Chain A
């Protein structure tokens, strides 16, 4: 009887143990399933500061089980194909007691300041597989303790994929700024978010200095394309303006596109090159030609030529020339030439500058060959940009009264006081462009400087360039000096350019 009771007790215990174990398993499973159905996630809240984007995902869960959930700790990070950590996410550690509702934030942190520009660039422009890694710890004491690590590949579509710029169009905006219109297009291959905000474009020159800028408003939903013309305004350095007018050159810039993406800005650099055709390409001032104009001036013909290599700018302007004495700096002549050329056309013509015969130094210039040095300064303006070209001009000055010579004086008695004299006078007009006309007169002294006679006025010329003048000086000397063997003739030569004097000693 006692043994039967032992067996009965054992049977009851076995039944209780079996039911308890199965009931416990059922409670755990039922609690897990019930709790899982209470899991709700709110709208994510994104904040960005100092390059750190924090995405908070509010989560609410109610523990409908019969045991506490403790040590819930989830850590997650997302890395790009190169292994750079992009996102760091945490949840917990948390404990949720039975029947308790818990609200908490799962946070995802994207710290772009810790990412290299290369990594950001690749992320923005290259579709790739991101590696999502997560570790999980959770307990339902005393029955279950879960820990695990999982990684998965997440396809990342580049938000700025296939960024291309079309051929830029350059135009003159004002005298110091050119407008560059660049067609920009790209695809937002990302499936999750819209590329929106203001895209900024900085134009940098070869030394890294910003010389221009532009902006574009973006609103590119996922899996759509963007295509738009972007206006850039590039300020030309003053030092480069003149060379742009006269010299073809390749303009090389770097356009730095700063595009907003997910609260952060991605910068993408693209070179921009433009073959600039100068509107006055090869502007050349040729060798000046000097020719006679009138008795007081000569003309300098300055050949000017260029080709309008600009695609859009037609040249229509006046070129002004000023001729300066290169020694004194004095302005000695001016000229103007109207130039017009359509894009692609060449221009060639001569600018005429009228130059007055120099009067200062006439004493030297009349009797001696010299070289006159001038500085020709050609100025003009095209598309609001002024330019200046300087050319040295050397004029070979041939003496208008070259090789002046007076032959032997012939003395003949005339009256009781004076004797008549005559002497041959010759010179050559050595000028290439001046005709000599004027008079010669003067007085006569003996070797001691005593005034002994006069020279009658002699008309000279016109003597054309390169020809010789033969003439005869005549006058009177006092009979007291008629027997002298030499005289000094003090000649005063008067020309259209002025009066000069010279002394000639002659024998009798």
Chain B
């Protein structure tokens, strides 16, 4: 690989890795704060609490793992470890989707502190949507598996 291609690969890895980190790790972790600022002072604490309840606490961490794997995937594309990286990335994305959709049923308890002393609970069933979002990670997993198998079948280079 030439130096120019390597540089381009590094740049792409950084860009996509950063985008993944931004959307999959940072935004979930900061969503509560954003909502709090948007809600104003009256219901700020309660709205932040609701948003935090909608986002699994593990989601930013899994998102960070996904971002790291995206970075590695772009950086090590075509290498022998690319297939395993895609497999791990597929698993990580599956986990991410599962956590994001809270296993298919998003449960929300309305906290104390809202106007009119509102309280209660809401359950949102999103199983189908979750399964739809799992298709791409599954195919990524399959792709990683295929590439791993393909790489393992190739004869080693002659020294």
When distances are taken between beta carbons in the complex, the residues of chain A under 8 Å from B117 are 129, 152-153
Query: Could you tell me the distance between the alpha carbons of A51 and B135 in the complex, rounded to whole angstroms?
Result: 59
State how many angstroms separate the Cβ of A482 from the closest Cβ of chain B: 134
B136 near A: Cβ within 8 Å?
Answer: yes
Q: Are B129 and A24 interface neighbours, CB within 8 A? A: yes
The answer, yes or no, to whether A472 is at the interface (CB within 8 Å) is no
Q: How far is the CB of B131 from chain A (nearest CB, A)?
A: 9
Bitwise interface map of A from 205 to 243 toward B, beta carbon under 8 Å scored 1, else 0 = 000000000000000000000000000000000000000
B11: chain A residues within 8 A (beta carbon):
none
Interface string of A11-32 (1 = CB under 8 A from B): 1011001101100110010000
B125 at the interface (CB under 8 A from A): yes
Q: Known contacts A7-B147, A17-B139, A144-B124; is A152 also within 8 Å of B119 by CB?
A: yes
Q: B123 to A146, Cβ gap below 8 A?
A: yes
A148 and B123 contact, Cβ closer than 8 Å, known pairs A14-B136, A14-B140, A18-B136: yes
Contact with A along B136-149 (1 / 0, CB 8 A): 10011011001100
> In the bound complex, what is the Cα–Cα distance between A14 and B134 (angstroms)?
10
Contact with A along B63-93 (1 / 0, CB 8 A): 0000000000000000000000000000000
Q: How many A-B residue pairs have CB under 8 A?
A: 79
Q: At the interface, yes or no: B110 with Cβ under 8 Å from chain A?
A: yes
A10 in contact with B129 given A17-B139, A150-B120 (CB within 8 Å): no
Interface residues of A in 480-500 (CB under 8 A from B): none
B143:A151 contact, CB within 8 angstroms: no
Interchain nearest-CB distance for A142 vs B (Å): 5
Q: How far is the CA of A153 from the CA of B115 in the complex (A)?
A: 9
Give chain A residues whose Cβ lies under 8 Å from the Cβ of B140.
14
B residues 104-122 in Cβ contact with A at 8 Å: 108, 110, 114, 116-122
Q: Which of A11, A144, A150 is the one whose CB lies under 8 Å from B129?
A: A144
Say yes or no: is B38 at the interface (Cβ < 8 Å to chain A): no
| Contact status A13-B139, CB under 8 Å | yes
> Chain B: interface secondary structure?
helix
- Cα A21 to Cα B132 with chains together (Å): 6
- Among A10, A136, A147, the most chain B Cβ lie within 10 Å of the Cβ of A10
Determine if A145 and B125 form an interchain contact, defined as CB atoms under 8 angstroms apart: yes
A145 and B124 in contact (CB under 8 A), knowing A14-B139, A152-B119?
Answer: yes
Question: Which residue of A is nearest B105, CB measured?
Answer: A145
Whole-angstrom distance between the alpha carbons of A203 and B118 in the complex?
44
Contact B139–A148 (Cβ < 8 Å): no
Q: Tell me whether A143 and B139 are in contact (CB under 8 A).
A: no
Count A-side interface residues using an 8 Å CB cutoff.
30
Given contacts A146-B125, A147-B122, contact A11 B143 (CB under 8 A): yes
Residues in chain A near residue B126, CB distance under 8 A: 143-144
Q: Is the CB of A150 within 8 A of B125?
A: no
Closest A residue, CB atoms, query B126? A144
Q: Which residues of B sit under 8 angstroms from A136, Cβ to Cβ?
A: 122
Residue B8, interface by CB 8 Å: no
A contact residues around B139 at 8 Å (CB): 10, 13-14, 17
Inter-chain contact B124/A146, CB cutoff 8 Å:
yes
* Cα distance A24–B129 in the bound complex, in angstroms: 8
The answer on a CB contact under 8 Å between B129 and A25 is yes
Which of B120, B121, B122, B143 lies in contact with A10, CB distance below 8 A? Answer: B143
With an 8 A cutoff between CB atoms, is A287 at the interface? no
Q: Is the CB of A151 within 8 A of B119?
A: yes
Using Cβ atoms and an 8 Å threshold, which residues of chain A touch B114?
Answer: 152
B146 engages A6 (CB within 8 Å): yes
A263 to B19, alpha carbons, bound, how many Å?
62
Residues of B within 8 A of A150 (CB): 110, 118-120, 122
Determine whether the beta carbon of A7 is less than 8 Å from that of B119.
no
* Complex-state Cα separation, A145 to B121, whole angstroms: 14
A7-B146, A18-B136, A24-B132 as given contacts; A152 in contact with B116, CB under 8 Å: yes
Contact B135 A17 (CB under 8 A): yes
Query: Which of chain A's residues has its CB closest to B133's CB?
Result: A21
The complex places the Cα of A152 from the Cα of B112 at a distance, in Å, of: 10
Contact A10 B146 (CB under 8 A): yes
Instruction: Give CA–CA (A205, B61) in the complex, Å.
Output: 79
Please determine whether A152 and B118 come into contact, CB atoms closer than 8 angstroms. Answer: yes
C-alpha spacing A144/B123, complex, angstroms: 10
Contacts of A294 in B (CB 8 A): none
A151 to B118, Cβ gap below 8 A? yes
Q: How far is the CA of A142 from the CA of B128 in the complex (A)?
A: 6
Determine the chain B residues whose CB is within 8 A of the CB of A14 once the complex forms: 136, 139-140, 143
Contact residues in A for B42 (Cβ distance below 8 Å): none
The verdict on B150 contacting chain A, using a C-beta distance below 8 Å, is yes
Q: Cβ of A149: which chain B residues have Cβ within 8 Å of it?
A: 120-121
Residues of A within 8 A of B108 (CB): 148
If A28-B129, A150-B122, A152-B116 are given as contacts, then 17 extra A-B residue pairs at C-beta distance below 8 Å, sorted by A number, are A3-B146, A3-B150, A14-B136, A18-B136, A20-B135, A21-B129, A21-B135, A129-B117, A145-B125, A146-B125, A147-B125, A148-B120, A148-B121, A150-B110, A151-B120, A153-B116, A153-B118
Can you report 13 A-B residue pairs in the complex whose CB atoms are below 8 A from each other? A10-B139, A11-B143, A17-B132, A17-B136, A20-B132, A21-B132, A21-B133, A129-B117, A136-B122, A143-B129, A146-B123, A149-B120, A152-B117
Chain B residues near A (Cβ < 8 Å): 108, 110, 114, 116-126, 128-129, 132-133, 135-136, 139-140, 142-143, 146-147, 150
